[in-house]
Amino acid sequence: MPLKITRAADPIKVDRLNMVIYGPPGIAKTSLAFTADAPLLLDFDNGSHRAANRKDVVRVTDWQDVAGITAEDLAPFSTVIVDTAGRALDCLTVDIIRANPKHGRGGALTLQGYGELKSRFGSFLKLLNSFGKDVVLIAHMDEQRNGDDVIERLDVQGGSKGEIYKAADAMGRLVISDGKRWLRFSPTDAAFGKNPGQLEPLQVPHFESPEFASFLAGVIQTTKDRLNALTEDQRAAQAEQEWFRTTLPNVTTADHLNGLLGRAKDAGHACKIMVRDRAKELGLVFDDARKAYVAAAEKQAA
């Protein structure tokens, strides 16, 4: 089977996102998550009742409460929220040890158990992704010290922390600065982050503000739009290249070719190369003084 190569100018449509939001306790991460588009919250933390704007939730006390989740279950929703990723992994750990006691020792996972945890949690995320929903993973922040420096990390156990980092399309920190709450996606020396949409730090509106009701929905959509804007540029470049590829074989005169120079310049380097190659096939050379292609003999005469 031939290798399926996505060319540089081929669009890659972004229809859904995995987003991680982390921060210290009590900063209203759950309330923020509920401002996503048509959210369903999988409440592993059993703290959804504290949210200022609670929407539909699944109160999870056992991993089996979510293990059989189906596309039909999620049909009314656009976003699935896992709150929190750390508690979800704790819940999954209990299920793993219950299913195979050899994967645990003294209530903690063995090395093989951690491998099972990593595999099953990754599979669960892929299942949610397969339903075409946006997924928001909420996590507490763990502060680690390196001398006098404070390093911010996700408070998530085991190797699944790395799986969350890899699965995240965007990762933001919810922080308080100057008495205001901010959502910051860009990484720093002291904190992780992923900012594919190149978003500036975003001030989170007050709970009672009309803008707060759909705040995260707007953040997710803006990130998608900016990623897809890149593919729109690629689609335009691809279309121009195809136009020159089909048009140039029918160009037989210098005047006709010169009439395409402005369009080729706007279309980019690849199209300018195609024009240059066609000029060579026609025996034309570029006259710097005229800024146009002429017959080689005409340039020599000049």
Domains of the chain: 18-227 (3.40.50), 251-301 (no CATH)
| Average pLDDT value for residue range 123-136 | 92
Would you tell me the crossing angle of helices 215-247 and 269-281 to the nearest 10 degrees?
0
Nearest alpha-carbon partner for 87 in 118, 49, 43, 48: 43
Check residue 49 and report its DSSP letter.
Answer: G
The dihedral through the CA atoms of 124, 129, 132, 134 has a sign that is positive
Residue 300 confidence (pLDDT) above 80: no
| Average pLDDT value for residue range 217-230 | 91
Percent of the chain surpassing pLDDT 70: 93
pLDDT of res. 12: 76
User: pLDDT digits over 235-275, tens only?
Assistant: 788 889 989 999 999 999 999 999 999 999 988 888 999 99
Rounded Cα distance, 12 and 9, in Å: 9
CB atoms within 10 A of CB 287: 16
Query: How many CA atoms lie within 13 Å of 25's alpha carbon, on the beta-carbon side?
Result: 6
Report whether the peptide linkage leading into residue 231 is cis, meaning its omega lies within 30 degrees of zero: no
pLDDT of res. 8: 67
Which has the minimum average pLDDT: 18-27, 66-75, 145-154, 167-176? 145-154
User: At 8, is the secondary structure helix, strand, or coil?
Assistant: coil
pLDDT of res. 296: 79
pLDDT of res. 73: 95
Q: What is the pTM of this model?
A: 0.75
Q: How far is CA 274 from CA 13, 233, 268, in A?
A: 28, 19, 10
User: At 57, is the secondary structure helix, strand, or coil?
Assistant: strand
pLDDT of res. 170: 94
